Amino acid sequence: MASSNSVVVKLGGTLAELAGTKQLCVELPGEPTLAEVAALVGVAPNLVMLYAVNGTLRAADYRPSPGDEVLLIPAVAGGQLTGR
């Protein structure tokens, strides 16, 4: 169960694969930024392409509130460039 000073962190795509889980509950130490929340769950902020809080895209320096749902979205690769 989440404490009164925690957020739910959802990991998208390859971040979930690397962490071995899709969701974590994280106790907030003070008022961290989203980049600092990523680091708290062991995700290097440079691996995160987008951050969302409660379904709204936010900048890495946004500070979530206790009870928020944070989504960390990795960069997506794929496709192939051709010389056409």
Q: Spell out the residues 6+ positions from residue 37 whose beta carbon is closer than 8 angstroms to its own.
A: 7, 9, 26, 28, 64, 70
Nearest alpha carbon to residue 59 among 77, 36, 29: 36
Report the pLDDT value the prediction gives residue 84, as an integer from 0 to 100.
47
Report the pLDDT value the prediction gives residue 4, as an integer from 0 to 100.
82
Q: DSSP E strands: which ranges in the chain?
A: 6-11, 23-27, 48-53, 56-58, 69-74
Q: CA 21 to CA 45: how far, in whole Å? A: 17
Taking only the tens of pLDDT, the chain with its 84 residues reads 456 899 999 999 889 988 889 999 999 999 999 999 999 999 988 899 999 999 999 999 999 999 999 999 998 765 455 554
Residue 29 three-state SS: coil
